[in-house]
Amino acid sequence: MAAKYGDCHYCGGKVTERKGEREYRWKGKMVIFQNVPMGVCLQCGEKYLKARVVRKMESAVLSGEKPDKTMRVPVYSYAAR
């Protein structure tokens, strides 16, 4: 069952539930969660997470749970361009 979301706080557009990727940072480390249920504004693309979803993400990171996979991410400095 999809969660209920109000209208977009920024543009007033309709927000509907979708699944997508979300980065999560904790103590200087970044992890990526896939298939995260989130509200997405159909007009401007703003994303919203329910508190229960964030708590589940935090629990996975804080528990030291092994990730499903690991990816290498290239990093570029904008100032160097």
Extract the runs of DSSP E, i.e. beta strands, from 1-81.
15-26, 29-41, 47-48
What are the chain's domains? 15-70 (3.10.20.860)
Q: Residue 39: how many CB atoms within 10 A of its CB?
A: 21
Reported pTM = 0.81
pLDDT of residue 26: 87
The answer to whether residue 12 scores a pLDDT higher than 80 is yes
Q: What is the pLDDT of residues 19-70, one digit of tens each?
A: 999 999 988 889 999 999 999 999 999 999 999 999 999 999 999 889 999 9
Confidence bin at 11 (pLDDT 50/70/90)? very high
What's the half-sphere exposure (Cβ side, CA atoms, 13 Å) at 79? Answer: 0
